[in-house]
Amino acid sequence: MIILLLIGLCYGSWIVYLLHGWHAIPVTQVTAALPTQGISVVVAFRNEAHRLERLLRALAKQDYPASLLEVILVNDHSEDLFEPTLQAFSSFPFVLRVLSLGDGKFGKKQAIAYGVSQASHPWILTTDADCTAGATWAKAMMQHAEASGARFVFGPVAFETERSFLTDFQQIELFSLIGSGAALWQQGLPTMCNGANLLYKKTLVEHDPYALNRHLASGDDEFLMHQVYQQDHKAVSFAKNRETLVLTEPCFSWSVLYHQRKRWASKWGAYRMAHVQRIALGVFLANLVYVLLPLLAFKTPVLIPWIIGIYGFRWIMDGIFIHEITRFYNKPFNLVRYAEVATIYPWYVLISALAGRAGKYTWKGRKVS
């Protein structure tokens, strides 16, 4: 019972620590001031012709001077016909350039690096082909960079889709990850960010920041953030602002979700910052404990009320944290759906972590090892 109480106390303290970090992040506001610095929006895409129109329509509405913004799409050996979609945007209000990776080069990291090398402006804004954003997104990210003095800004990402258990599952998880990443950065422990919403100086990627992890399909975002933070702690900042929110598509099948999470987990062993490795290991062990608790209940029935209490305490603490994130971004929080997700989440984390160490997976029609 003492051990169970210690587990609950440690977990509760961790969530309080995250909540303190989240609330300590200042909220930035978008002003009417006209931008003065140029941005190149770089998007890597592969087999996503059906998504490009939605993305380009959102980018065409950006409240940014036409002379200070360009959009660079980098084709990573797509096997579909995307050209007809692009031809429909002959009157695109900003400079629109479409590049293609040459033979021998493939993957998102090389696509982003190539797009950055061809960029005309000093700032790079990255997102994904399945994303959309509000009209003030680019301006809000740039104003945050100017106000904070940061050279690497990461922003929030959420899903925009119809309600289902699968999509709600991903939405709850994503808000947990976005909130945790921001809170840990505020506490001086940068860990996670999302390449669907990054703004950084072009000079940060001129010297091949992915040299040590180019073999990994994932990590174009986090490895760069870690490298920048190691060089200058003040160079990294989180844009806590509703105007900086980017919306993306969820995985529409459990199979695709499995391969995506396997891709994410595959980079855990390549982290170079000690605190990132410790936090990743801590998250794994914490969820492993919750997976094993039913075995303890089976072996020692007298502890069942205590084990139920530990599960309930975790549900409450996680729910408080996630609700704080969803409330800030004006997103719904369904208590019943949250309880369903929280019940199976420890098993999901355990399977994803082990699968990420297991080897090959498939992503966007390409087998990756």
Average pLDDT over residues 28-53: 92
Do residues 229 and 192 lie in contact, with contact meaning Cβ atoms separated by under 8 Å?
Answer: no
Q: Same domain for 93 and 184?
A: yes
123 and 36 Cβ atoms separated by less than 8 Å: no
Q: Cα–Cα distance between 141 and 136 in angstroms, integer? A: 9
Pairing of strands 366-368, 361-363: antiparallel
Q: Tell me the C-alpha distance between 180 and 162, whole Å.
A: 25
Q: Is residue 318 pLDDT above 70, yes or no?
A: yes
Q: Does 182 lie in the same domain as 293?
A: no
Please count the structural domains in the chain.
2
C-alpha 117/C-alpha 230 separation (Å) is 23
329 in a domain, yes or no? yes
Q: What is the mean pLDDT of residues 266-291?
A: 83
Q: How far is CA 214 from CA 62, 210, 244, 359, in A?
A: 32, 5, 29, 16
Bigger pLDDT: 42 vs 105: 42
- Domain edge (last residue) among 205, 236, 268: 268
DSSP state of 25: S
Structural domain of 309: 2-21+274-359
Q: Which residue has the higher pLDDT, 40 or 276?
A: 40
Over residues 343-368, the pLDDT tens digits come to 999 999 888 888 776 656 666 666 66
Q: Are residues 48 and 16 in the same domain?
A: no
Which pair of structure tokens corresponds to residue 173? 């998880």
288 in a structural domain: yes
Asked whether residue 12 is domain-assigned, the answer is yes
Decide which of 213, 234, 268 is a domain's last residue. 268
**Cα–Cα dist 48/46, whole Å:** 5
CB 309 within 8 A of CB 290: no
pTM over 0.85: yes
**pLDDT tens digits, 211-249:** 655 556 566 788 899 999 999 999 999 999 999 999 999
- How long is the chain? 369
Cross-strand partners of 153: 199, 237
Per the CB < 8 A criterion, the answer to whether 246 and 151 are in contact is no
Q: Which residues pair with 74 in a beta bridge?
A: 44, 99
- Domain edge (last residue) among 222, 247, 268: 268
| 40 and 12 belong to one structural domain | no
Percentage above 90 pLDDT, the chain: 57
Any idea what DSSP says for residue 149?
A: T
Tell me which residue has tokens 């929006």.
Answer: 41
CATH number at residue 189: 3.90.550.10
